[in-house]
Structure 1
């Protein structure tokens, strides 16, 4: 049998699961979390759902406040994308369910190896920078264990914006369908706590979480958002 040219693993559907989460920014200029607000917690840990919340107080992301999420649920079952659900919709839903915040995905300028719809079908495979993308900016791959049938978990990270009361109907996940602003209540095992951005980087337990947050902060700085809209 011929040897394959790439080091490859193949997983049937029962051996992988997808999870979606977001770094959530508050563009209102308020120094406090939007209402309704989850109860703060001083502890921080690796959130299995991939939900970190960020709230900005000025137009400079370095002076923003960040909420890390303390997830006391260790069963690895949170944050999952449902059947027939897009990754974008899953990220918006999971932020609302787990943190209590309504949100919408926020477009960023970023490099990606996904080609534009305007590119030729045979365009070369390398990273190009595109504006206004609501695509995942980071993918985390978790090995769920060496045991039989464990498989892997794929965690897709997005950049999102906190929604506030009075915003009316919004297109939360970028699919063209508008929904009513609808905050929720955080699940009992999630407790967001707000910190300044740099402090949040230090609060996060794992380096991979710090890498994700740092990447999101950098994308916000380089995307030149209109912070007043």
Structure 2
């Protein structure tokens, strides 16, 4: 029996959770801003994300979780980015390499986290979103454990509690600001 030449790890459905989130931008002003959520219970500043429900698309989960945790309706904001995924219109034998495409609404990043104590794996898919309405300075979310607030890019990068969130936000800012 042959063994794969690739490093692989398998998890059953009891040992993984899939989440989706989106970096929520306010693009309506000259100085663009990004929304962070304040998790009141632990006094942490985070990016909005949450578990995907059974049968729900990753994109729909991201939009649902952002609205639930920030209180803002939003839409996925297309950006120009590189991806290894081919366009649906490309030939089946297109090479497996990163290519840049305009107006993509795909996840721009994924994050894998492991909890050693119970062997749970968490996969988070990250999207870029923009608010559908003029945001207020601070807003309670539908979830009473969170409040949402918009910050300039620099303020948000300083405010986030975790470095992984800073890395996700920095990449999102680069994509939003790229022509």
TM (norm. structure 2) is 0.85
Q: How does 1:52-201 map to 2 (within 5 A)?
A: 58=30, 63-72=31-40, 79-147=50-118, 150-164=119-133, 185-201=141-157
Match of residue 25 from structure 1: 25
Cα drift, residue 65 of structure 1: 3.0
Retained in 1: the 8 A contact 2:77–2:105?
yes
Cα drift, residue 191 of structure 1: 1.7
Q: Deviations over 1:92-136 (max 9, x none)?
A: 111111110000111111001111112222222111111111100
Gaps of 5+ in 1: 30-57, 166-183, 225-229
Structure 1: how far apart are the matches of 2:12 and 2:50?
A: 20
Q: Structure 1 residues 22, 210: CA separation in 2 closer, same or farther (over 3 Å shift)? A: same
Cα drift, residue 146 of structure 1: 4.2
Give every structure 1 segment of 4 or more consecutive aligned residues whose post-TM-superposition deviation is greater than 3 Å. Answer: none
Match of residue 209 from structure 1: 165
- Alignment root-mean-square deviation, CA: 2.0
Cα drift, residue 73 of structure 1: 5.9
Q: Structure 1 residues 67, 16: CA separation in 2 closer, same or farther (over 3 Å shift)? A: same
- Residue 113 of structure 2 aligns to a residue whose secondary structure is strand
Aligned residues: 168
